Structure 1
């Protein structure tokens, strides 16, 4: 399942949702809704692998009818009649004699049949009944002794009218809220599926369940923080739209990007590769370059030109890298004529770039620091750790200046010098990063791009599904910081290439991740025969001991039919 839609499909998805909601709130016929939703069926099928389905319902045109649109996972229910699902309700009523309409984005559930699985109890949910009772809205659609579908729980509520439904920013707000709830729902469905079947994956049942529950609690926290803003959004949606408009106008007037940025993510996700696009975008003062594609040769050409002009510099931190390399230090120098040894003050790469940027304020400069977390940050930056803050840069109200220890020169850091670092989360968590550095940097997560591998097959092995299945299990058994990037699969053109990648990269990486816990590695690979075990018995000083010995079966790696078993096992469970 691909949970991250590319920008074009995201726009298409948004357009279909908003168009459908507009028809619902205007009480159009079921035929209109059907025409609108038919394209949505195909989109959901393609990007959610037949997991997410939709259903629209309006029983009649009476005043007590509530049109609704739900999206349900087949992992949780075969049909909506007995399940839980994200859904939209359209309510009409009166407030102080004036007609009013609300669109409710809800944690929906079946009314007539109690669902087998309910929404997570950790979420602070408020019913539609409670929500409307506080607003004193009259003539709402009723059912028995309450509001029709009033037992469903509110996630977000929007007071709607024709003017708002013509506002693109209002569209974005609704769609972002819906997409957040849908992604949560997909994760929740996956969680419940694993909770039901995790004993099949490994003998370490309690540990597996605890690992996944810890990760799932993070999802709940994010959704709870969003849901806690419910009343604020209902009352201040117009102010929100106005603020977004003002921010949009300001962004168009000038280039604005954080001076200090770290691209972080698991290994093989293209962090270093993406520094090319970010650095060229900063030099060009054009954010659209940040989203450059792999085939844009002009960006790579521009990157090379900027490096030749010393507008962009690239370095890699390591344990031996120090202040003397980065800022300045004393180095020995042998005079060729007199053969005398003398010591000179050597300027480091960062000091050189500061001086160049000061003397060329029309251009931006970029220093790329690869593997920034591998160096001793305090040792390398020294007293300059304070000066890299935007508010402490040259020309700012809190400008700071330091006197360098060797040259005794005064040094400030100019505003046109940008720092881009990369950080591998599998090596070191952001939480463990030097607190002084973490506070001064903006962080951008770079995760695997499964779309790049889409439609790439090697002997009927679908590379995108292969990587998705492996990563979902790694995230379940370990954490998301250790999933595998798409770059491991980019240069696979033949089956022999795939075998070599698994033999020399994937298998050793998994052994390192799980400290040779081969039961977990077998679970990651769907128990497809890549790992074999043998029970041996040894007599040690009269004590007979038994132990399982595991090894990677290299012959099994050469069998094409073994690879689809990695991702087909998930489909079988569904």
Structure 2
């Protein structure tokens, strides 16, 4: 699979108008004839369609020049020689709402643009004149960076690729070198949570999301990945916070902060913007881009008290509407390009204390323990099938018994029986026992089931580990190590 740029010019005006006038919905086919087609260009390659000029005098065209769509080469009648005419049949899979040029990319995604700054036609120094130009193997001709940049300008590109070119979906998540996001990476274009959030934003103008799920169901992991996807993994456009019982309006919106007075000897207190206002200010100054605030464990604080008057103005219908800040008395507004993603455990007692006025302002996304996700992870870990079946049976048993469920992420690192025993002793045993503290019969049944499935195997794993350790001691002695210390009970001997 390769990539080319097809530049439509004065001989292709009818085709150009099909793109610029929006008279054709993808997929649709068109033919394009040109000379000087490289031998490496072939059927199956993808083509970025560039709307060029219809004249050679530099006269302004009726359409904006730039990239306007993506097509696939489904037919190629190649000329006998390099200077003979070749005819392409191209199937258009996506048409952008407007043509995209260098300035569009620089304004919206300058960080990404440097990775395709030498791309044919749209690059800074694109001097080749061929109507069809192949993309080279060059770090500054990165197609994944280009597709990711297009998606930031045209989010519906994901839907187009799902329908007509799903093999390109993984290329919509380019992460700039040395800017790999932490906290879970970036959600792929076909991630169901990201797609749901994007649809809610684009179709219903939802701007606030509450991810609800038991511990270990991936709500925080997804929140970070979605935030990275919405912002192109630009850390300057994301704020991560975690609420706690002492979090207050003064910490979140605005509050008094000490500063050195003009005489340099005394302290004075001034009202300063805090986390939320700072991100709002940055978003307002960059209205074409999404900014995201991720609030983890939002129910651990008192959201109504922390948000204050912001609770009304984060609502989509009140975005960009001027109101008065409670402390400073300044006029203010919450920009409509700020997305809030909060997470909470629905079984935490504090969630029940969140009032309806707060909850109704959020689109709720629920995360449940997922057996299929766990099965895929255990397979990726290389866990034997017979052990997988036992772990999945334990997972089912726990979720059928424990009222609030046990998340799949608790089991993600498992590969061996020893791993299962470690997670059971260090994490699951205490957590499940606490959940069933008033139902001792259920707890005893869980323990008995665990012992039946893993008790003997876990003991054997420990024995095997002990034998391995002894073998290493013997090998060290045979190798002539000067001193090997072995601890037996309270006695220490030199072997």
TM-score (norm 1): 0.41
Question: Which has the larger share of helix?
Answer: 1
Calculate the TM-score normalised by the size of structure 2. 0.47
